[in-house]
Amino acid sequence: MTSTAKPARVGVVMGSRSDWETMEHAATVLDQLGVPHEVRVVSAHRTPDLLFRYAEEAVGRGIEVIVAGAGGAAHLPGMLAAKTRLPVLGVPVQSKALNGMDSLLSIAQMPAGIPVGTLAIGRAGAVNAGLLAASVLALHDPVIAQALDAYRAKQTQSVLDQPDPRA
């Protein structure tokens, strides 16, 4: 799926369909900002060949940033980063057994040389990964830059408009 007819510029990938509940928040932000993106399930351990192919072909297909979410022993973001020079933003999905601490450490603790930009566990991380991906594109895309500025201004205004938390 792409958000528009335009070719995807951000790849939102996840290790399992069960990650969608978290990762849809990244896709929603990208939709709101008008960033063309695609959404794919690519599992490091169930579909390793697909993972390699996805990472190897991403640059040639016009992808500029990859947002990758995974839970548990979350190899996906690191393995994608190992196979592409594109920026990879990792979202630790909240696991049942360890509440996402396993996912967080698996994604954040990359050895020096292959970076993964790691976000917060769960929804906040997915939202921020979408925003960060848009920020990268906004460096050389004034339309996305404007959409990002408007998003932030609206967010600020909504706090200012409701100063009383009981209202």
**What residue ranges bind ligand RP5 (CB under 6 A)?**
15-16, 18-19, 43, 70-72, 93
Q: What is the largest CA-CA distance in the chain?
A: 53
Compute the least distance from the CB of residue 73 to ligand RP5, in Å: 8
3-class DSSP assignment, residue 35: coil
Considering the complex, state which of residue 71 and residue 78 has its C-beta at the smaller distance from ligand RP5: 71
Compute the least distance from the CB of residue 131 to ligand RP5, in Å: 21
Residue 8 burial class via C-beta count within 10 angstroms: exposed 0-12, middle 13-18, buried 19 and up: buried
Considering the complex, state which of residue 23 and residue 33 has its C-beta at the smaller distance from ligand RP5: 23
DSSP alpha helices (H): ranges in 59-122?
76-83, 101-108
Compute the least distance from the CB of residue 18 to ligand RP5, in Å: 3
CB atoms within 10 A of CB 99: 12
What is residue 3's DSSP assignment? S
Asked whether residue 16 is marked as a ligand-binding residue, the answer is yes
Considering the complex, state which of residue 88 and residue 144 has its C-beta at the smaller distance from ligand RP5: 88
Binding residues for substrate: 16, 19, 46
